[in-house]
Amino acid sequence: MLVPRRCLLAAVTIAALGCGKGPEVPHGAPVLLEVLWELKGVPTRVWSRDADAAVAAVVPPQGTRVDFVFDRRLDGARVEDTVDGMEVPKANPPISAGWPDSDTVMSDPPFAAIVLYNSLSDWGPETTYAFLTPRPAGFPAATAVTFTLDPNGLTSIYGEPMDGPTAITVNTGPFTVSLPNSTGTVPTSYRVPMAFSTRAPRDQTLKPFIHVLAGVTPLPFDLKNDNGDTTLIYIIPTPTGCSGWPVNTEITIFADQGLPDAFGKPLAMPVAGRFVTSSIGGCGGTDGGASDAATADAGSDAANTNDADASEGGATDGGVDDAATDGGVDDGAIDDAPQSN
């Protein structure tokens, strides 16, 4: 018996459908199998239908995506819209995130999330998943974040509602801040990375909580958000007739208890960092804290410039797993306009 060519072509792309017949995809409610918390591409299981599966009790607050894995195809049109051939999030998505004080403790800009659908079996045979992505990245630290799932928005292609809990709570880790503690010299133009364990606030709101000292002498400084990493803020020298930090000087930085993250969560304990500037630069040294160790020759200072760059690139990850970092953001990309993406 001859098979129409149109049926052969259809079979190549839609194996589950028969030519001239209705869809042959099995009926049944989509079963929620597991929920994965991603940090820059590295997943951690935070909920599983399998009672014997390992599940993390606490996850880093700087989550970049949360995946909800199902055992079959969903009706993608209920999860996302299609506009001009592109998938876009719905105004009222079937998955949302919240926490107990989310109405009063909120970030700047406010927390927002997009929810989309992926029909590829990235998490196992026959699986598909809906995923929630915070924009900008990050959740509040030390918080029970609850994800609410709408069964009528997460259905099979026949409209059968999902099988699984409609609320899943994930506990995030503490809010921490880290500052560099360098024993080598750095250039006087050194941009000091201050790394948060979750999204950092807009830079200037932190200035009352930060102190930069050469010995006991306060030094002027500015703050700049990193353009590519929402957890990083740079402490930079403010020119005062010359460019950069004082030469040949040990400089100490203090971050006060109470310093907030982007969600208004206060830092529980004060944090300190230190670095030593090289003997070459545009500013004269200070009596307070000058270090003989910093008086290396020009050739040694030039070599140490690379060490400073490495310190800025991501050595201070604020408690985030190094395996999950972006691989370093070029400080040269930081412009005068603070970015929050």
The whole-number pLDDT of residue 25 equals 77
Q: Running DSSP on this structure, what letter comes out for residue 283?
A: S
Q: Running DSSP on this structure, what letter comes out for residue 311?
A: I
C-beta neighbour count of 103 within 10 angstroms: 8
E-assigned strand segments in the chain: 32-39, 42-48, 65-70, 80-83, 86-89, 95-98, 113-118, 128-134, 144-149, 167-171, 177-178, 181-186, 192-196, 210-214, 217-218, 221-225, 232-237, 250-255, 271-277
Give me 245's structure tokens: 């930090």
User: In this structure, which amino acid lies at residue 139?
Assistant: F
Confidence check: pLDDT of 3 > 70: no
Q: How far apart are CA 21 and CA 101, in angstroms?
A: 52
Q: 3-state DSSP call for residue 298? A: helix
Does residue 246 have a cis peptide bond before it, meaning omega lies within 30 degrees of 0? no
The whole-number pLDDT of residue 150 equals 98
Contacts of 110 (CB under 8 A, 6+ apart): none
Tell me the pTM: 0.73
Contacts of 190 (CB under 8 A, 6+ apart): 237, 244, 245, 275, 277, 308, 312
Contacts of 169 (CB under 8 A, 6+ apart): 144, 145, 146, 147
Q: How far apart are CA 157 and CA 63, in angstroms?
A: 30
The whole-number pLDDT of residue 103 equals 73
Q: Which residue has the higher pLDDT, 127 or 103?
A: 127
Q: How far apart are CA 147 and CA 167, in angstroms?
A: 6
Question: 262 - beta bridge partners?
Answer: none
The whole-number pLDDT of residue 311 equals 37
pLDDT in tens, 46-101: 999 999 999 999 999 999 999 999 999 999 999 999 999 899 999 999 999 999 88
For the residues 142-150, what does the mean pLDDT come to?
Answer: 96
Contacts of 23 (CB under 8 A, 6+ apart): 16, 17, 157
Give me 136's structure tokens: 């900008």
- CB-hemisphere CA count at 13 Å for 105? 16
175 pLDDT tier (thresholds 50, 70, 90): very high
Q: Is 327 left (phi over 0), alpha (psi -120 to 50) or beta?
A: left
Question: 61 - beta bridge partners?
Answer: none
Q: Running DSSP on this structure, what letter comes out for residue 143?
A: -
pLDDT in tens, 229-255: 999 999 999 875 567 999 999 999 999
121 pLDDT tier (thresholds 50, 70, 90): very high
